[in-house]
Structure 1
């Protein structure tokens, strides 16, 4: 993949917690590229480092060693103020907890990143995003008046409204029923196909991962394998193999 085709890149990224005998390597030398206009899922057993990797890629956490690039910008060298501006202007976030402001309407929650940046929304783009998530008739409602699936679609629209370089999604369907999950995943999938958006998603759900173009599998803080054009069945098989190798390694270590 040429540099111009890469939205985000991790180069030999380590993340350590603690020190001495209590040191834990949450990430141990991860290198990966995430192409522009592609949907990548990150999976792995509990404690594999997948959320830690996502947070380092998104500039929410700094690696202990290694580099993370958003385009040609090295996030690991930016002062906190510049990093805050970059996250606001060039990155979108969708989390398991919807993180909506309860006193604001759906529309006000969607445009909040632009309001904080002192920018006016592109009305045509705002209409496109709201229409795509199917919320046109719910814009005046507060979060408490919306279902969980609708709240997460508001969060997705908020992540896209500023046309970010990348949308990072951390277990975005974790609190949703299967129908609402499908709606949110279909929207993320459409944003890649129709708007050339780049999406990087952490999930534990093989069905959710099957919406992606590619799945990366982590275990013990290391990248173990990847799957292109996944299906729910192929993801489930890969996870079973990964967990089987993980259990065997634990037995040998014990």
Structure 2
């Protein structure tokens, strides 16, 4: 009996020993894996604050650089606006006397000086505002544009007769009155200082050639249609 029991025990260990060994091996592997995972987790936790700190530093740097860039851009745009505003101010202030170079549209001398807005006594005893200057010149004398520009108005009325208004680059306008009714340009035409726009006439009924002699009336207006002294723009002598 004893020998049989011993044989059974030996048979059991021969048959089941493999599984027992496998079980112990699995337990060892599981234990090692658990320990390794726990160790890795501690290492990752230790690294995480440093990474977060690094990311925070990078974000702050980017944010600071962005703010600096935006500030520089804003200051640059402000300077550009200031420069543009200054340029416009210079153009408006100085452009009326320097940006457009005027030439005398006809040859002649000043027969009647600019007095606007102060009224001047006429021969009949009445008082009128003298706009522009009258240049003494013969009827039929060709009249040129005083500078490059665009024909804005062509019309006729009792006081000034047939007249033309030309707008120039900086907003200043020149007006030529007491012309012949046969105007040589059309509204919208681009003209230069060499363009003949009409001829001296006798179309004014208020300031007629009979009372004031043969003449052309020349006026200068600013961009707001306010009267300017033509003697500051043309080279005429009294």
TM-score category of the 2 structures, normalised to the smaller one? under 0.3
TM-score, structure 2 normalization = 0.22
Greater radius of gyration (CA) = 2
Larger relative contact order (Cα-Cα within 8 Å, sequence gap ≥ 6)? 1
